[in-house]
Amino acid sequence: MKTYFQATQVNDRVYWVGAIDWSIRNFHGYATDRGSTYNAYLILADKVTLVDTVKAPFLEEMLVRIASVIDPRKIDYIISNHSEMDHSGCLPQAIQAVKPEKVFASVMGTKALQEHFHLDREISEVKDGESLSLGNLNLTFLETRMLHWPDSMVTYLAEDKLLFSQDAFGMHLASSERFADQIEDWILNYEAAKYYANILLPFSALVSKLLERVKGLGITIETIAPDHGPIWRKEVSRMPKLYATWAAQRPTNKAVVVYDTMWQSTALMARTIAEGLRAGGTMTKLMPLESCHRSEVVTEVLDAGALLVGSPTINNNMFPTVAGTLAYLKGLKPKNLMGTAFGSYGWSGEAVGQVMEVLAEMKIDLIGDGLKVKYVPDESVLAECFSLGSRVAEKLGKVSS
C-alpha cells in the first residue's frame, strides 16, 4: 500500500488524503449504490493540519496517502468538523500514530468525541466564528448545528478561499476522479440530490438560514472540499444554488406514486392512477417498493408536488414495506406536498385509512378519503383510479412552479 496510495493535490498546499469505499451499499439505511468516499485533507501550513479523518477500517489508507506528502508525525493539528464515525472512526488511532499537538472540534464536537471514544486527552474547543492561526495561514470555524448533527461545523481557509464543508455539499460517490469537473453532471446532480434528500431534508430551514448567513458574511469561496464525494474547484456556486432550491421545497408538477402489491391489484391501481396523472400533464414517477429502495423514493419526493401511496391490507395492517418507507419519509419531513392513498384488500381493508393517517401526520394536503377496492379492480374502479390521477394532476398544475 505504501507506494501506491497517493494523495491528490487540491492546490499548492492542500491535499486530499482520504479513502475510497468502493463496496459500501448500505449507509445506515441509505442505499449507496455508487459507494462513497471519506475525505480528509492535509494543509501544509507552518502548523501542518489534518482536517477530518476517515472511517475506522480506512486508517491505513489515510496514513499512507498522508505519507506520500509528509511524514504523518509532522502533523501539528487535527480538526474534527464532525464527530459521526465515518469521519472520526479512526481518530483515536490517528492521534496515536500522529501525536498531534492539538485536536480541535466545536463545543458540541468535543463532547460528542468524548462520548464516542472516551479519549484520555483533551480536545480543544473552537467557538462559532473563531479563527485559528496556522502561522502563515488562518482557519475560521462556523458552527452548523444540526446540519446535520449538533456538533457539525465547517472550516474556512481564508488565504485559499477554500471551504472544508464537512457533510454539506457532499455525496456518496466512489470514483477515481477527485474533482467534480471530471465527473458527468447527471451523476453529480442525482447523487447530490439523493444525499440532500436522505440526510439534510429535515433541516431545510437551517440550510436556508446558513446560506443567508454565509452570503451576509461576504466571504468568497473558490473551492468546496466536502467530506464525501468530489471536490468543487469550478462552478462552485452550483451546490449552494441547488441547496437553496431543495431547501425551499417549492412543489413542482411532478408526482411520486409509491406502492407495494400482493397479487398485482394495488399495482394495477398504481399504474392506472399514473396514466391519469400523465394524461393531466404531470411528470410521474412510479416506484414499486419491490424494486425501489426507500432512499430512492425520498430522492424523487425531494422535488415533487404530490405523493400517492398504495398499500394492500395484510393482517389488518398496511404492507410492511409501505410502513417502513412511510416511517422513513415521515422522519425526513418533506414539505408542501399533496397526496392520497389507495390499495386493494380482501377482508377489512384497514391499510388505506392507516396510510391516510400517516400522510395527515406528515402534514400532506390530502386529496379525497383514499381509494380502496376489494380484491381485483374492475373497469369502474380503474376509471376511478384514472380520475383520481387526473384530479391530482389538475390540482398540482395550479399550485406548482
CB of 24 to ligand FEO, least distance (A): 12
Q: Does 294 bind ligand FEO (CB under 6 A)?
A: no
- For residues 103-162, which are near ligand FEO according to CB under 6 A? 148-149
Q: Which is nearer to ligand FEO, 227 or 296 (CB)?
A: 227
CB of 116 to ligand FEO, least distance (A): 12
The dihedral region occupied by 396, where left means phi > 0, alpha psi between -120 and 50, and beta the remainder, is alpha
Largest separation between any pair of C-alpha atoms in the chain: 77
CB of 61 to ligand FEO, least distance (A): 17
Q: Which is nearer to ligand FEO, 27 or 246 (CB)?
A: 27
The single-letter DSSP state of residue 58 is: G
Determine the angle formed by the axes of helices 238-248 and 204-217, rounding to 10 degrees: 140
Q: Does 86 bind ligand FEO (CB under 6 A)?
A: yes
CB of 58 to ligand FEO, least distance (A): 13
Residue number of the CB closest to ligand FEO reads 84
∠172-177-179 over CA atoms, to 5°?
A: 80
Contact window for ligand FEO (CB under 6 A) among 14-22, 79-87, 280-288, 343-351: 79-87
Q: Does 194 bind ligand FEO (CB under 6 A)?
A: no
Q: Does 300 bind ligand FEO (CB under 6 A)?
A: no
* Residue (of 150, 108, 104) closest to 126 by Cα position: 104
| Tally: H helices and E strands in the chain | 12, 24
Q: Does 52 bind ligand FEO (CB under 6 A)?
A: no
Active site residues: 28, 82, 84, 86, 148, 167, 195, 228
Residue carrying the nine cell digits 448533527:
149
Q: Does 227 bind ligand FEO (CB under 6 A)?
A: yes
Contact window for ligand FEO (CB under 6 A) among 80-88, 122-130, 299-307, 363-371: 80-88
Q: Does 87 bind ligand FEO (CB under 6 A)?
A: yes
Q: What are phi and psi of 312, to 5 degrees?
A: -70, 165
d(CA 29, CA 26): 6
Q: Which is nearer to ligand FEO, 198 or 252 (CB)?
A: 198
d(CA 33, CA 217): 37
Q: Does 21 bind ligand FEO (CB under 6 A)?
A: no
Contacts of 42 (CB under 8 A, 6+ apart): 7, 14, 15, 17, 48, 49, 50, 51, 66, 69, 70, 75
Q: Does 55 bind ligand FEO (CB under 6 A)?
A: no
* Residue (of 385, 381, 376, 313) closest to 349 by Cα position: 313
Among 228, 271, 285, 372, binds ligand FEO (CB under 6 A): 228
Q: Which residues bind ligand FEO (CB under 6 A)?
A: 82, 84, 86-87, 148-149, 167, 227-228
